Structures are given as structure tokens and as C-alpha cells.
Amino acid sequence: MSKVLIIGGGIVGLSSAYYLHKAGHQVTVLDKGDLTDSCSYGNAGMIVPSHFIPLATPGMLTQGIRWMFNSKSPFYVRPSLNMQLISWGLKFVQKANAGHVERSATPLTELSLLSKKLYEDLSKEPGFNFDLVEKGILMFYKTEKAGEEEALMAAKGRELGLDMAVLSADECRKLQPELELDVLGAVHYRCDAHLSPNKLMTALIKYLKGAGVSLLTNKEVTKIETSAGKVGRVLAHDEAFTADEVIVATGSWSPAIGKLLGINILLMPGKGYSFNVADEHPAMHIPALLAEARVAITPMNGGLRYGGTMELDKINSRINMNRVKGIVESVPKYFPGLKPAVPAEKDIWFGFRPSSADGLPYIGRSKKFSNLTIATGHGMMGLSLGAGTGALVSEIISGTAPSININSFIPDRK
């Protein structure tokens, strides 16, 4: 079997390491941090086969322009002469059409369902208690317009074989009687699930260490040597690593790694925020998505995790408190009994979702280097698609037939 080097220790990198180890490969993971600071930890923990619509849609194009003028809006693009952003924007506009949306639905659904099944299997393994709960997710809406859009989405989901149901406000109340609602209704994504990302990542790290997988932290890749169409040495400052196969699973840092390789990995970091609130008397048992506000709320670890926003910008450490206030202020409009306070800046988590311009992940071998596989660009669905991506990476490296058709995800697509 192959000696495999994975660059990146987020959910995609660690899932790849897990399935590659299971397939008999010798695996080393390099991470620029300490494995605890990736986007895989602070997300909403949602497993979402319901999300078969890519970010690049005609509606997102027009809505996004309006949101750019609202400092508390769910979506923002910081104007910049950054060529990566300009290239990304041009590709986004090119792909934001009904045909692309239609073509993307099946591959995204197949990848999501594969990933969900793998999480179900993993949760049954010894040492993998990460609070997987299969109660679905409720997409609440307050306006007739949003209700019509969500009903159409549910109908499309059912065509794809997904379990979705449109509920009235009264039907929503019966599911969670103690949760006060001010909504017109919701779509119950019964096909969805949720888990604790912190517990999942901790379990994966513990398993991999115990299995002899080499997890090397604080190893930022600074140079990559290539020759004869293959990746050779990978250098982390003055330390060199070699392998038969190299995997780039570096999330929003992937363009920088691509630059070292002389290839263009077109994606932008989409900053999102989350914060946790303890809840002594939990009324919410099913995760919620707020349709108009684009906010996610997940019961997690004895409390609620609130998350949202998408800021497309260069990687940075700024916390935009107006965006956090936008999350906080939206919640009581749907749930009058839930009134989270604006958290202190030190209690706000932020991470960068690696967002491809067409809304589809990059999964597959590079055309330029025969021993290079790319696994990144999952946007807001990194956790949801992580297990499935890891399994596909293992199949690619092992030379076995992939579990699903990955043609839509090839890294060199136009």
C-alpha cells in the first residue's frame, strides 16, 4: 500500500486519514496549527442532505448585492482588487444559473447521503460517541415568499428521494411544545441530522493517534518541490517530507498551497461566526435554520450553538460585531422566548469556509501531478460532507471504484 501525506488536519483531512488507514495505507498528516483551530470545530454540526442547492444561484446573485449594503446582513463581500476575488466573482456570475443548479443537485445529494451513512456507521464504532441525533432540521420561515420558495425546494428534494415535509406553525408547535414560535411554518428536513463537531474531531484524533497515524502539528508547509509531473518533497520550514501520494485538504488555505504547486485552486474564505449559550431548560430539541435570516441554531452539549453569516474576504482575525449582532437580533423574531445576549468578543468563534465559485467541492486527482489529490472547497458543508469526502479520497488513492460519480467535483473543471 502507499505512503500518503495529507496536508491539512480539519474534518476532510482527518476523515481521509481515517479511511486511508482502514484501507491499509501508511498515513502522515501535517497541520499548520494544533488540530484544534479549524473550521471543523465551531460549525453548527449539521448533516444536511437537504442542502442540494449550490451557493451559485441566480437568487443569491441578486440577494447578495442587496445584502452588501446592510452591515448586519447574512452575506457580505468586502470590495477588493484581490485577483483571486475577481476571478472567483467572474466564475460565480458565470455559474449562477438555473442549469448549473439543476446539474448540481444529484451529485451534491449523492455525496451528502454517502457522508451521512458513513457518520451513522462511524457512530456505532467503539470510541466514536459524537452525539449523532437523527431528528432532522426545521427550516423556519416568516414570510409567504420564503414559504413558497421552501415548499418548491421541498418538492425538488422529494424528487431526489429526500424525506421533507412542509409544516404549518401548529404542526411545528406539536414537535416542540415548549418552544415559543412566531413563524408562518417550516419545512422539516427529516433526512438531516446533527452531531457535536468538537466530540467528533476529538474522537477522530484519538483514534488516529492510537492507530499509529502520524499527526504532526505546527507544520506549516512553506515549499513544495515537483518534478516529472509528480509532487516530490514537501517542506515545512526546514523539515522535509516525502510520500507516494499527497493530498491537499487545507480548506481556505488551499489557494496558498496551490500557489506552491503552481496550480490555481479557485476558492474564497467565507468567514462565519458562532457562539454557545447554556440552556438549563431546553425547549429546542430539533436544530433550526431561519430562512430569511440565514441563521443556524443547534442543540449541543447541554446548550444552544448559534451561527451564521458569510463574509468573503482575505483570511483575517477581525471580528465584525455588527454581523454577530445580526445573528442575535434575528433569533427572537422567530422564537420570542429565546433572547441570547450579544456575546463578549472573547466568546465568539470564527472560522473560514472554503467556498468554491460554483458551490461544489473539489475532490479528485490533479491533472498536473499524477500523485496529487485535492479535497477542499466544501463551503458551509465541510462537516456534512467530510466523511464522504474522506472515503472518496481513500478510494481514489487505492485505485478502487468510487462510491459515487465524482465527475462534477474534479478539481480541474472549467
pLDDT in tens, 293-307: 999 999 999 999 999
What amino acid is encoded at 175 in this protein?
L
Average pLDDT, rounded, for the chain:
94
pLDDT given at position 329: 96
CB 384 within 8 A of CB 289: no
Does residue 261 register a pLDDT over 90?
Answer: yes
Q: Which domains does the chain have, with CATH numbers?
A: 3-409 (3.50.50.60)
3-class secondary structure, 274: strand
Could you tell me which residue, 290 or 88, shows the higher pLDDT? 290
Asked whether the beta carbons of 300 and 409 are under 8 A apart, the reply is no
pLDDT band at 36 (very low <50, low <70, confident <90, very high): confident
C-alpha span between 286 and 249 (Å, rounded): 31
Decide if 281 contacts 302 (C-beta within 8 A). Answer: no
Tracing cell 458551509 back to the chain, one arrives at 380
The tens digit of pLDDT for each residue in 73-100 reads 777 777 777 888 889 988 988 998 999 9
User: Which tens digit of pLDDT belongs to each residue from 121-172?
Assistant: 999 999 999 999 999 999 999 999 999 999 999 999 999 999 999 999 999 9
Mean pLDDT of 318-338: 95
In this prediction, residue 363 carries a pLDDT of 98
pTM of the model: 0.95
Averaged pLDDT, 90-113: 94
Checking phi first, is residue 315 left (phi over 0); if not, alpha (psi -120 to 50) or beta?
beta
The distance in angstroms from the start CA to the end CA of the chain is 33
Higher pLDDT, 86 or 47: 47
CA distance 244 to 251: 22
Quickly list H helices, 124-189.
Answer: 144-159, 169-175
305's enclosing H/E stretch is strand 303-312
Count of CB atoms within 10 A of residue 259's CB?
13
Residue from 363, 316, 265 nearest 12 by CA? 363
Q: How far apart are CA 13 and CA 29, in angstroms?
A: 8
